[in-house]
Each structure stands twice: as structure tokens, then as C-alpha cells.
Amino acid sequence: MSPDDVAAEKLLAPSVMGATGLPVVGLTLGANDGAWSARFWNKGTSGQYQRDWCENVRVVGSGLKAHYCDKILPPPKYMGTQIRTVSAWGEEAHADFARLLIGVVGVGSVGSIIAEALARIGIGRVMLIDFDTLKVHNLDRTLNAYKEHSRGDQSKVSVAERALKRSATADRFLVESYEYSVCEEEGYRHALDCDVLFSCVDRPWARSVLNFVAYAHLIPVIDGGIFVARTRTHKLRGADWKAHAAGPDNRCLLCLKQYDPGLVAADRSGDLNDPRYLETLADDHPARVNENVFAFSLGLASLEIAQLIMLAIRPLDVGPSPQIYHLFTGQIDIGISGCDSDCTFPKLIASGEREHPGVDRHLSAERERSARNTQASKKRWFSWLT
């Protein structure tokens, strides 16, 4: 920054803080390298406004480009554990790619595979968000989950966190795990720290919140889904899975028909956890089907990681497009990118805190954490007695 730049921003800081209650954010575009830098002007203990540099500036659209402050977040060391990975797209691209903070919301059948892939390819910072407990019925579709984890006292994120620390190839690997739903204030706030989010959830409320984040907070959201067709005698007829990246210049999750807005209220009220409510729905209703079996989740996770590569690496400067894979034919269809003309989500672009994301108390999440803590206490008590 030039002395004139510093003086101008510092002069604005008190009046802007007084009028809005928010600090001035300064942005500079490098003339030589085209890189953005950013800083907040916060009031220090001495009463003077001081410059606090941002670790990165995220530029989004059809793709994603992050510009870093190397003093705060230096480039990762080139590790021998990543020779094959780095050879695919080069050290320069990997230095930017590996410094992204990538969040995985939902660490079940698809999310556990994606999280493992991120650790293996050298991503240095991964965040896991999921309130759920690992149970016996999760073992056939959750990577790195074993019988000793399924006794009701361990969260999915804690199991995944331990596994990722063993799998990571990055020099300075950091994994954060939070036992919340993204529909809760705490989980939502943690998600806003990320540069990219993987939506590995199967409920409409969570998808609606993540769709909001993709536009209001300019954090690309990579999402997907699986559809299995069966005959009347319950034999496999075929399966499709699709992956896409939501955000500015891309099609949103609502236009992609990834959730039914009419079911968001039912999800918030807890009806989707009520067997009596579910029994009133058709057998093939989206709220009743459960098709994230491991064999198909592998295919979906692969497509979603490919969406991340297209988004952040951008081979030949081409961003991601929605993709649908058909198991029966082996064909991949490419979907359209833009939202429908009457979609309201593009109007939310960069609205941030001015709009409400729809987060609230999540009673199912609260009950799950309480039950898990009770089970853990019983286990500790039994160990003490024996």
C-alpha cells in the first residue's frame, strides 16, 4: 500500500465504524500480478485504528480463485508424499489449491469419502460439520468407521478427524470438527469460515441453508445426489448420480431440484424424523428413500471431487458444469449452468448478514448430542467400576 492509500483508509475508519458499527475493509489489486489483498481497520486498545491483514481474498464466479497473504498463510512445502498429485496440475496451482479451507457438511457415506480424498491429495485445512452419532447401521457405508466406533458414544466427525490425521499428506495439516448441524447458529457460523463447502446432507433444511450461503456469502457449494430405480420385485433397474457446484454464475440447488422448499418447514418442525408422518408419504417420496449405499457413494464422491478440481484448478480456464452419470449406460450428461429466470437466489448475491439464512434450534441435533454424551458418561463410569 502507498502512504496515500494508508492515510485514506485510516481516515475513513472512525466515521464508518460510527455509522455502521463495522470496520472499513480495504482492497487493493496488484498492478503487476493481478493479485488482490485485503485488510480490516479495527480499533486497537490505544484507541487508534490499526490495519489487520486478511489471510486471503476469494474471487468467485464460474470458478474460484484465492489470493493469499503469504505472511499469514505461507505456501505449503512441496512434499514427497504428493509427487503424483502435484504432477497433475503443477506446484503453482497446488500451492493455491492446498491452502483452501474446505468444509465437509455431513460426514456419512459420501462425506467420509470426500474428506479422506481431501486429506490424501494434500489439502492443508479441512473442516468437518455433522451432529450425528456413528451407529451400527452406518458401518456398511462410512469410510474409516469400525465396530468399536458404533457403540453410541462417538460422533461421526470425531471418528473422521482421527482418520484424516493419519491419512493427510500435507506438511501442516489442520482438521477442525464441529458436532453441530449447519442449520444451527454454531454450525452455520463455522461454515462461513470456509472457502468451499461440500454439501453431503440429505435433508431439505440443510440444503436450503447451504444454498443461501453459496450466494449470500459467496462460498461455492459442491453438492450431489443419488437416485436408484428398482423393479416391482425390488431388483436393481439402474442408478444415477449427479454432482454440481452452486454459486454465482452456476445453477443453484433449488433450480437443480436438489430439495423441495415445501419440505423445509416439515424438516424444521421435526416431521421428517417422525415415523407417523413418513408413513403418510409414498414409498418413493424423497423424504423416505435412502440410497447412499457405499457402492454408489464412491461414484458420487468421485464426481464431486472432480467438481472441486474444475472449480479451483480450472483446466483450460473451464469451470464446472452439472454432471449426471447413468450406471446402466455409462453415459455422463452435462446440465445447464444458469438459474431459472424466476429464481430468487441470484438476487441474494453478496447480501451477507442483511438476509436471514433460516437457521434455528435443531431439536434432533440437540437430542443426538445429549444421547451421545449420556452414553459416553456411562462408558466412563463402567470403566471406572471395572
- Tens-digit pLDDT profile for residues 110-168: 999 999 999 999 999 999 999 999 999 999 999 999 999 999 999 999 999 999 999 99
302 found inside a domain = yes
Q: 33 vs 109, which has greater pLDDT?
A: 109
Q: Measured between alpha carbons, how far is 115 from 305 in angstroms, rounded to an integer?
A: 10
As a whole number, mean pLDDT of residues 29-43 equals 92
- pLDDT of amino acid 289: 61
Whether 282 and 202 have beta carbons less than 8 Å apart is answered as no
Partners of 29 in the beta sheet? 36
127 and 42 in one domain? no
The band of 310, judged by pLDDT with boundaries at 50, 70 and 90, is very high
315 and 224 in one domain? yes
Whether 169 and 122 have beta carbons less than 8 Å apart is answered as yes
pLDDT > 90? residue 54 = yes
250 and 111 in one domain? yes
88 and 50 in one domain? no
Whether 365 and 184 have beta carbons less than 8 Å apart is answered as yes
CA distance from start to end of the chain:
65
329 and 184 in one domain? yes
195 found inside a domain = yes
68 found inside a domain = no
286 found inside a domain = yes
pLDDT > 80? residue 283 = no
166 and 291 in one domain? yes
383 found inside a domain = no
pTM of the model: 0.93
pLDDT > 80? residue 382 = no
What total number of domains does the chain contain? 2
116 found inside a domain = yes
109 and 47 in one domain? no
129 found inside a domain = yes
pLDDT > 70? residue 344 = yes
66 found inside a domain = no
The C-alpha cell at 250 is: 452456476
Q: Measured between alpha carbons, how far is 356 from 208 in angstroms, rounded to an integer?
A: 12
Contacts of 156 (CB under 8 A, 6+ apart): 107, 108, 112, 130, 132, 133, 134, 138, 142, 145
157 and 303 in one domain? yes
b/e map of 42-78 (b: 16 or more CB within 10 Å)? eeeeeeebeeeebebbbebebbbbbbbbeeebeebee
- pLDDT of amino acid 44: 87
173 and 299 in one domain? yes
116 and 230 in one domain? yes
pLDDT > 70? residue 284 = no
Q: Measured between alpha carbons, how far is 265 from 140 in angstroms, rounded to an integer?
A: 31
Whether 97 and 120 have beta carbons less than 8 Å apart is answered as no
- pLDDT of amino acid 313: 96
Partners of 65 in the beta sheet? 59
349 and 258 in one domain? yes
The C-alpha cell at 131 is: 451432529
Partners of 242 in the beta sheet? 225, 324
Expressed as residue numbers, the domain containing 8 is 3-54
Whether 198 and 102 have beta carbons less than 8 Å apart is answered as yes
CATH number of the domain encompassing residue 361: 3.40.50.720
What mean pLDDT, rounded, does the chain reach? 92
- pLDDT of amino acid 287: 62
Q: Measured between alpha carbons, how far is 172 from 194 in angstroms, rounded to an integer?
A: 17
Encode pLDDT of 243-262 as tens digits: 999 999 999 999 999 999 99
- pLDDT of amino acid 279: 66
pLDDT > 80? residue 286 = no
46 and 133 in one domain? no
- pLDDT of amino acid 281: 67
